[in-house]
Amino acid sequence: MPHAPLITLNDGIQIPQLGLGVWQLDDDQAYASSVAALKAGYRHIDTAMIYGNEAGVGRAVAESELARDEIFITTKLWNTDQGYDSTLRAFDASMAKLGLEQLDLYLIHWALPKKNAYRETWKAFVRLQEEGRVRSIGVSNFHADHLQHIIDETGVTPSVNQIELHPDFAQVELAKFCKGLNIVTESWSPLGQGGALLSQPVLSQIAEKHGKSAAQVILRWHIQNQHVVIPRSSNPERIAQNLDVFDFVLDDQDLQAIAHIPQTGRLGPNPETFDMGA
């Protein structure tokens, strides 16, 4: 059974480099996908309050024969809950749904620069970590200036920045900036949401060469770029396939070819302007 390697974050906490994403799965689907993933060897599941499926993920963890400390769980604070006190309340609500005593990773879901509450929100995150209620704290969809502001305000650097990232939206500059601060980049929609990217001829060629699928080539590209990656699937075979990316290596020629895939841009919202629920 394949297992994802562990990456050590800047606070010493270890995160499995590949996990299951559950965005757009309802509670029952998230439960079923989480069960299939744990059975296939996954040890990391990434949910969020706004996905509405924290309870399904929590149920899968509770029913698993694995010890709690063998599974890494991430959830995210939704936009409406930003602010110091509201963050502390939202954390309790997420933990009740997950049914967990301690969370592995808590992320601010979006920066919401116009709301301008992410500094206060981050202070509450620091408190939650100090109290031991969450092992590691990070952010999602933050740009360089948002990252710098919360670090300046608290002296605490997020452990990860989870951003939209796939070979046709490679986010090279932001990932480099994060690396400079020892912040791990996590890729959301790593497969380009299963759309046009998967049928890029260059990926099929590389896939054929290695006896793998185009999706596996993309996931391997994330792994070799040292990103944490959280592909979503509700199909047990594809869930298993997506973890089976640790027995081959993309060579320089493969990486060069992938680097030449045209940059078509983001599929999701722009963090600078996104203000849903603000």
Q: Which residues are catalytic?
A: 51
User: Which amino acid would we find at residue 108?
Assistant: I
Give the Å distances, CA to CA, from 109 to 1, 50, 154, 192, 276.
32, 9, 19, 19, 11
Q: Least Å distance between CB 185 and ligand A2P?
A: 15
- Look up residue 30 and give its two tokens: 């998230």
Tell me the closest approach of the beta carbon of residue 113 to ligand A2P, in angstroms: 25
Q: Choose which of 109, 190, 207, 245 interacts with ligand A2P (CB under 6 A).
A: 190
Residues in the chain: 278
Is residue 140 at the binding interface for ligand A2P, with CB under 6 A as the rule? no
| Residue 154 sits in the site that holds ligand A2P (CB under 6 A) | no
Q: Which of 19, 113, 167, 192 binds ligand A2P (CB under 6 A)?
A: 192
Only segment of 8-16, 55-63, 65-73, 192-200 that touches ligand A2P (CB under 6 A): 192-200
**Per CB under 6 A, which of residues 19..38 are in contact with ligand A2P?**
21
Distances (CA, A) of 24 to 44, 61, 88, 235: 17, 19, 25, 13
269 binds ligand A2P (CB under 6 A): no
Distances (CA, A) of 139 to 9, 39, 77, 119, 121: 13, 29, 9, 11, 11
241 is a site residue for ligand A2P (CB under 6 A): yes
Q: SS3 for 150?
A: helix
The Cα 76–Cα 200 span in angstroms is 32
What is the rounded CA–CA span in Å between residue 255 and residue 140? Answer: 26
* Helix, strand, or coil (residue 187): strand
Closest distance of CB 153 from ligand A2P, Å: 32
Q: Which residues lie closer than 8 Å to 212 by C-beta, 6 or more apart?
A: 220, 245, 248
Question: Is 109 labeled as ligand-binding?
Answer: yes
Contacts of 164 (CB under 8 A, 6+ apart): 141, 171, 187, 188, 189, 266, 267, 268
Task: Give 73 or 239: the residue with its C-beta nearer to ligand A2P.
Answer: 239
The one segment of 10-18, 116-124, 234-242, 258-266 that binds ligand A2P by CB under 6 A = 234-242
Range in contact with ligand A2P (rule: CB under 6 A) among 67-75, 81-89, 169-177, 190-198: 190-198
Cα–Cα separations (whole angstroms), residue 182 to 158, 161, 169, 179 = 9, 10, 21, 5
Nearer of residues 161 and 216 to ligand A2P, judged by Cβ: 216
Q: How far is the CB of 266 from ligand A2P (least distance, A)?
A: 12
Q: Which is nearer to ligand A2P, 21 or 138 (CB)?
A: 21
Q: Is 61 in contact with 97 (CB distance < 8 Å)?
A: no
Among 183, 233, 243, 261, binds ligand A2P (CB under 6 A): 233
Nearer to ligand A2P, 47 or 121 (CB): 47
User: Which of 58/192 has CB closer to ligand A2P?
Assistant: 192
Residues that bind ligand A2P (CB under 6 A): 21, 189-194, 198, 213, 215, 231-235, 238, 241-242
The annotated binding site is made up of 109
The annotated binding site for substrate is made up of 109
